[in-house]
């Protein structure tokens, strides 16, 4: 690119406006139940999901989404406070009650759950809509625990400081569960110690919880993020394939979720100090380059590839891998100044905004293949409440600002 500074400035502007528009879209939608975020909209047809839509319907509440949404809302409220105080006020008016709702759900037994029924009881929901009560073993932790506890910590730091230490004190148990084999990845089956023991040793739980480390630094609690150094070292030692530069999902197995590898790089760079080891920076950049080059396919980044052959093993390209690439590439270019990271940033930016971003409304197609958008749900049917897209783009804005994109902090979209 002949004008790197110009691209970075323009990209930051696009991200600020996209995030503001997405927040306006989300905040304009009617809340569900006691005050849950409502992103239950089909990204292809734009139809709202209703009672006849099975597991997509408003009667099912996903702990993943609400926890992610709370963290995203709180983070954006702080970002827009100076440039768009009306937007911040609108965010706080929804996020503060959502914090109270999730706090009450969490207070029962120190856990959150993937899916809740209309009575807010945790359930296992089969694809045919049949539901059974979810088991609630005290010692088993899940992704929902990560997302909701992260949201509670971020929100307590903004709204409820007296309770912040209480939530931070619960992080070590979650870390211990991941390191001690008591973390269950599949929440669509009953939770149990046996299921946790018998699952593959995927690096996903470490990667997702690493997303808390940068946030903990930003709220002034780096003491609570000390687990991150162990997680980073563990993933690089046990999952990195030196021949391909890719992160295997599971040691010794051939599958690579390239988006997770890219997301890992972004979370690590978000956490590491400015004077981090240069050799580590180069290793992270190499993972980013290898992952993006292996995964880029058609409209976006394919879900999985073979480590041995580089062959695509999924036709699906979920939306989230591209904003995660934008985050990782922006943070990497900021640290290294390497033109290859900037090139990846530019390509991911173009792919996301040319193919996925709808603009009106301010949402992305959830999944695409080489033939265009498809009705395939990556994890939960609810659309992104500012987490993968918003927080990723926001990290790129902040990197751009540190690199001199001074006007990026202003939004051209009114509250």
pLDDT score at 406: 73
pLDDT reported for residue 407: 58
* 415 found inside a domain: no
Question: For 1-32, what is each residue's pLDDT tens digit?
Answer: 579 999 999 999 999 999 999 999 999 999 99
pLDDT of residue 413: 38
Q: What pLDDT digit, counting tens, does each position of 38-91 carry?
A: 999 999 999 999 999 999 999 999 999 999 999 999 999 999 999 999 999 999
Which domain covers residue 30, as residue numbers?
4-409
The reply to whether 404 falls in a domain is: yes
Contact 183, 205 (CB under 8 A): yes
Total count of domains within the chain: 1
User: Model's pTM, two decimal places?
Assistant: 0.96
Residue 414 lies in a domain: no
Q: Grade residue 126 by pLDDT with cuts at 50, 70 and 90.
A: confident
pLDDT at position 412 is 37
Between the CA of residue 26 and those of 16, 20, 29, 41, 391, what are the distances in Å?
A: 15, 10, 6, 10, 15
Whether the ω angle into residue 361 lies within 30 degrees of 0, i.e. cis, is yes
Q: Are 162 and 103 in contact (CB under 8 A)?
A: no
What average pLDDT score do residues 170-175 get? 98
Mean of pLDDT over the chain: 95
Q: Give the pLDDT of residue 411.
A: 44
Q: What is the CATH number of the domain that holds 65?
A: 1.50.10.10
Residue 216 lies in a domain: yes
């Amino acid at each position: 690119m002949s004008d790197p500074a110009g691209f970075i400035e323009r990209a930051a502007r696009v991200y600020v406006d996209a995030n503001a528009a997405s927040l306006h879209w989300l905040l304009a939608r009617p809340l569900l139940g006691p005050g849950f975020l409502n992103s239950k909209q089909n990204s292809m047809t734009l139809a709202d999901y209703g009672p006849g839509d099975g597991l997509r319907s408003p009667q099912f509440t996903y702990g993943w989404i609400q926890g992610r949404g709370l963290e995203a809302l709180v983070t954006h409220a702080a970002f827009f406070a100076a440039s768009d105080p009306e937007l911040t006020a609108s965010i706080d008016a929804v996020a503060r009650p959502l914090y109270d709702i999730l706090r009450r759900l969490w207070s029962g037994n120190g856990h959150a759950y993937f899916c809740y029924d209309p009575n807010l009881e945790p359930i296992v929901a089969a694809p045919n809509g049949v539901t059974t009560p979810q088991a609630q073993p005290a010692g088993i932790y899940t992704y929902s625990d990560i997302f909701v506890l992260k949201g509670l910590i971020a929100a307590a730091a903004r709204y409820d400081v007296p309770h912040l230490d209480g939530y931070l004190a619960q992080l070590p148990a979650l870390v211990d569960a991941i390191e001690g084999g008591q973390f269950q990845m599949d929440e669509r089956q009953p939770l149990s110690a046996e299921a946790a023991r018998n699952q593959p040793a995927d690096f996903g739980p470490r990667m997702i919880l690493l997303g808390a480390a940068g946030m903990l630094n930003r709220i002034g609690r780096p003491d609570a993020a000390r687990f991150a150094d162990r997680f980073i070292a563990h993933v690089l030692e046990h999952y990195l394939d030196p021949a391909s530069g890719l992160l295997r999902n599971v040691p010794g197995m051939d599958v690579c979720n390239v988006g997770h590898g890219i997301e890992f790089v972004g979370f690590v760079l978000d956490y590491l100090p400015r004077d981090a080891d240069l050799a580590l920076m180069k290793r992270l950049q190499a993972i980013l380059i290898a992952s993006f080059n292996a995964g880029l396919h058609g409209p976006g980044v394919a879900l999985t590839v073979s480590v041995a052959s580089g062959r695509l093993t999924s036709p699906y390209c979920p939306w989230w891998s591209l904003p995660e690439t934008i985050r990782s590439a922006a943070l990497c270019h900021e640290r290294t100044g390497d033109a290859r990271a900037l090139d990846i940033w530019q390509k991911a930016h173009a792919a996301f905004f040319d193919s996925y971003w709808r603009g009106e409304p301010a949402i992305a197609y959830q999944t695409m293949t080489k033939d265009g958008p498809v009705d395939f749900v990556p994890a939960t049917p609810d659309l992104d409440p500012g987490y993968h897209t918003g927080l990723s783009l926001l990290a790129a804005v902040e990197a751009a600002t540190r690199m001199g994109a001074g006007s990026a902090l202003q939004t051209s979209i009114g509250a």
